[in-house]
Amino acid sequence: MRWIYRGQTNYAGLVYANGDLTVILQGNNNFYFFDDMLDDRYFGFYIDGSAAFSGTGSMNLFIVNAHTDSMAYAIYTQGALAIEGGTYDMETYATDASYGLYAETGILITGGQMELLYTSPVLRRD
């Protein structure tokens, strides 16, 4: 499952929220997205608002954008991002730039455990 937006900038991702989003983690949750069909930006979570992540579960998130001049984001918010609990293992790879957490108005981490790995550039297929 994924969504794609084609416009002046091409976007693709796994989870899109048109407004604020609250995620309560329970159990083990895995999100994987590997592709090279679009240049520009790939997202694990794209939130057009603020987001809060909490709970006692875990989230494994792996995003790879192998297209030329690409970017990858694990979690991207137009507003604020709050991490209040949970265990996170997030990896992003892209040819231009990679981000683990990206929030337009700030990030607040008050709980949980987190491991972020981001790599740029990923090897290109020419």
Cα separation, 11 vs 69, whole angstroms:
13
CA dist list (Å): 122 to 65, 71, 92, 126: 8, 10, 10, 12
At 69 the pLDDT is 79
CA dist list (Å): 55 to 23, 28, 92, 120: 8, 11, 23, 31
- pTM confidence score: 0.87
pLDDT tens for residues 56-86? 999 999 988 887 778 889 999 999 999 999 9
pLDDT tens for residues 81-126? 999 999 999 998 888 888 889 999 999 999 999 988 877 665 544 4
Cα separation, 83 vs 44, whole angstroms:
16
Cα separation, 32 vs 92, whole angstroms:
10
